[in-house]
């Protein structure tokens, strides 16, 4: 619905002509509440190092939302942090992801107002933000998945609860231009304490995992994280296992990877090696490939994890054939735990 000029004016906006141009460099700040993890009490400065995940993307974890935003953007987020915490009903620590577009853009005319030293706009670039949208669509699932994997332990899993999504820009004159949207969520959780060194190490590992977590590989895990429906959660987590298994298997080579696990007597080496190679090459099913990956690639996988996989697969197969499965029978937590373990959570 298009708003009228009178509504814009009542909101404090003023319409500017097309020849009034602002050059601005846009970015997006995604703020998450870190649930399941705290800074150790002994930490004097409760903030991590700023980690660059790419030329345009940085992340930081901090107890103070203002300190975190200052580290990433050189500006504070709110004039009254205690009031902001109370209004949002959130508690620290926070994880912030900041992405900055590669090139500046121009805003011609539109509705604007100045407030508290900042410029506010209303839908000033509806055709823009493509670079930001592409980054959110293509890169954020892998970033969030990697962070959860490396900040969690198998006993105490961390959740990243989205709190705010803020698109803003910096003008040539140094003013900040805002376009903000908000989301909130709440749940019951318990936390474990981490030192600054442990948090920094987790961020470093997260960066190292990103090349593996392509959009296609991790989109199901990412979709399951905040899915309230347990049936959908289970199916999304299992599909992640399926995609990740096939992706891992396709990266393996018999001569380089599988051959070394067989102790074939020299007297029959040629014939039996060919037999095993055909067995490996002809492995097409998910179950076959999961077993090969567990033998060759996933060093932390144990018999209980293989049992979990086959239990989940049996339930998934029932659902695929239209059989009814009670919600209480869905091993959602066990399957999520297996997903995390496959990705390296200890």
User: In this structure, are residues 177 and 24 in contact, taking their beta carbons and an 8 Å threshold?
Assistant: yes
Distance (Å, whole) CA 159 – CA 195: 18
CB-CB neighbours of 292 under 10 Å: 22
Mean pLDDT (whole number) for 287-297: 95
For residue 189, pLDDT over 70 is answered with no
Residue range 255-279: mean pLDDT, rounded:
86
Q: Is 346 helix (H, G, I), strand (E, B) or coil?
A: coil
DSSP-derived secondary structure letter, 94: E
The pLDDT, as a whole number, for residue 1 is 42
Closest CA to 141 of 64, 56, 30: 30
For the chain, domain boundaries: 5-209, 215-342
CA quadruple 156, 160, 97, 94: dihedral positive or negative?
negative
Whole-Å CA distances, 205 to 40, 164, 209, 309, 314: 20, 25, 6, 26, 33
Place of tokens 């962070």: 147
- Is residue 185 pLDDT above 70, yes or no? no
CB 60 within 8 A of CB 51: yes
Query: What's residue 9's pLDDT?
Result: 62
> In this structure, how many other beta carbons lie within 10 angstroms of the beta carbon of residue 252?
16
Distance in angstroms (rounded) separating the CA atoms of residues 231 and 45: 42
DSSP string, 268-287: GHHHHHHHHHHHHHT--SHH
- Mean pLDDT is lowest, of 85-94, 219-228, 239-248, 261-270, for 261-270
Q: Which of 183, 237, 169, 208 is nearest to 23 (CA)?
A: 169
Per-residue model confidence as pLDDT tens digits over 21-46: 888 888 999 999 999 999 998 888 89
* pLDDT score for 252: 93
Residue closest to 100 by CA, chosen among 64, 137, 131: 131
Q: Band of the pLDDT at 236, cuts 50, 70, 90?
A: very high
β-strands 105-115, 159-171: how paired? unpaired
If phi > 0 it is left, if psi is from -120 to 50 it is alpha, else beta; for residue 144 that is: alpha
SS3 state at 251? coil
Note the maximum CA span of the chain: 91
Res 243 pLDDT > 90: yes
Which stretch of 109-123, 145-159, 267-281 has the lowest confidence by average pLDDT?
A: 109-123
Handedness of CA 136, 137, 139, 141 (dihedral sign): positive
For 105-156, the DSSP string reads EEEEEEEEEEETTEEEEESS-TT--HHHHHHHHHTHHHHHHHHHHHH--SSS
**Among the ranges 6-10, 181-185, 194-198, 248-252, which has the highest mean pLDDT value?**
248-252
pTM (two decimals): 0.75
Model pLDDT for residues 308-325, shown as the tens digit of each residue = 999 999 999 999 999 988
| pLDDT at 301 exceeding the cut of 60 | yes
H or E stretch including 162? strand 159-171
Residues pairing with 62 in the sheet: 47, 94
Question: Does 194 have pLDDT greater than 90?
Answer: no
* H-run or E-run covering 52: strand 51-52
Q: What is the CA radius of gyration of the chain?
A: 25
Element (H, E) at 231: helix 230-250
Let me know: does 258 contact 292? Beta carbons within 8 Å: yes
pLDDT reading at 82 higher than 80: yes
Q: pLDDT: is 186 or 173 the higher one?
A: 173
Distances (CA, A) of 345 to 82, 199, 235, 254, 338: 34, 14, 21, 27, 9
pLDDT in tens, 88-102: 899 999 999 999 998
């Amino acid at each position: 619905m298009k708003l009228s000029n009178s509504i814009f004016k009542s909101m404090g906006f003023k319409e500017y002509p097309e020849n009034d141009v602002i050059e601005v460099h846009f970015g997006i700040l995604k703020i998450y509440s870190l649930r399941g993890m705290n800074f150790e009490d002994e930490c004097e400065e409760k903030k991590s190092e700023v980690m660059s995940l790419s030329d345009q993307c940085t992340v930081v974890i901090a107890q103070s939302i203002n300190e975190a935003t200052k580290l990433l953007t050189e500006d504070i987020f709110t004039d009254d942090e205690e009031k902001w915490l109370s209004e949002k009903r959130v508690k620290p620590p926070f994880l912030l992801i900041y992405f900055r577009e590669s090139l500046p853009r121009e805003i011609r005319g539109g509705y604007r107002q100045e407030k508290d030293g900042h410029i506010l706009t209303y839908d000033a670039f509806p055709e823009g933000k493509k670079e930001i949208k592409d980054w959110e669509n293509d890169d954020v699932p892998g970033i969030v998945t990697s962070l959860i994997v490396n900040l969690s332990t198998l006993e105490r899993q961390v959740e990243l609860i989205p709190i705010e999504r803020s698109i803003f820009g910096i003008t040539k004159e140094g003013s900040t231009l805002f376009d903000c949207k908000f989301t909130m969520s709440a749940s019951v959780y318990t936390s474990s304490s981490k030192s600054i060194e442990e948090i920094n190490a987790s961020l470093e590992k997260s960066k190292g995992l990103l090349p593996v977590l392509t959009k296609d590989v991790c989109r199901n895990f990412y979709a399951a994280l905040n899915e309230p429906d347990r049936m959908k959660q289970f199916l999304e987590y299992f599909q992640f296992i399926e995609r990740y298994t096939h992706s891992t298997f396709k990266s393996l080579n018999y001569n380089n990877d599988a051959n070394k696990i067989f102790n074939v007597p020299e007297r029959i080496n040629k014939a039996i090696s060919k037999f095993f190679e055909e067995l490996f090459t002809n492995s097409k099913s998910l179950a076959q490939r999961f077993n090969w990956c567990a033998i060759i690639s996933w060093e932390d996988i144990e018999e209980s994890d293989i049992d979990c996989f086959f239990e989940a697969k049996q339930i998934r197969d029932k659902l695929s054939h239209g059989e009814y499965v009670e919600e209480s029978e869905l091993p959602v937590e066990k399957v999520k735990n297996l997903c995390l373990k496959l990705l390296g959570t200890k």
